[in-house]
Amino acid sequence: MTSLPLTGSRRDRTAPTARSRCAPPCASTAGRDAPTGLRAVGRAAHRRLTAGGTDRGANPVELAVVMPAVLVLLFSSVQIAAWFVARSTAMHAAQSGVNAQRVLDAPAGAGEARAKHFLGAAGDWLVGAKTTCAATATEVTCTVTGKSLSVIPAVRFDVRQTAHGTAERWTNP
């Protein structure tokens, strides 16, 4: 900042202009090359990081505290997704079994066989799957039960899906 001569008149004590208030770091960078400005910023950051303040080493500690919570959220979200896929697989297997069993004059075990075939082709999303199909003269019901695939050890959710359908039959008009 430049010093102004002090005289008795109020006019001489006016505020300095914007040009005289500006220190060299905020001066216009026209004509300067960019790396020079970046070097100055880098030196300031280096001084701040190496000053040895009270925050030194705080990042690893924060990470050690937060990381278990992040991992629990990650694995639990994957476990929930596996449960939803297992439910969907069971529902589609039950619907496939109903569609096979409701056909006119279908053999007794056609629905269970079709549901088991679907589960075999779908993969291991549903562990220990059991299929039961019951048919009456007018209705077919298939139920698929099992447990979802486990991502977290010893955590398995039960899955039970049931599908209903009308049996095909001859009726009088």
> Pairing mode, if any, of strands 158-166 and 139-148?
antiparallel
The 10 Å CB-count burial string (b at 16+, else e) for 59-84 is eeeeeeeeeeeeeeeeeeeebeebbe
Give the per-residue pLDDT at 26: 52
Both tokens assigned to 115: 């549901």
Q: What is the set of domains in the chain, with CATH numbers?
A: 59-166 (3.30.1300)
Q: Hey, CA dihedral for 151, 154, 155, 161, is it positive or negative?
A: positive
DSSP 114: H
In tens digits, the chain (173 residues) has pLDDT values of 555 555 555 554 555 555 545 455 555 555 555 556 666 666 666 666 555 566 677 788 888 889 999 999 999 999 999 999 999 999 999 999 999 999 988 898 999 999 999 999 998 889 999 999 999 989 999 999 999 988 888 788 999 999 999 998 888 87
| Pairwise CA distance, residues 161 & 142, whole Å | 8
Give the per-residue pLDDT at 153: 82
Nearest to 169 by CA among 135, 124, 138: 138
- Tokens 């698929």 — which residue? 144
Give me the residues paired with residue 163 across strands. Answer: 142
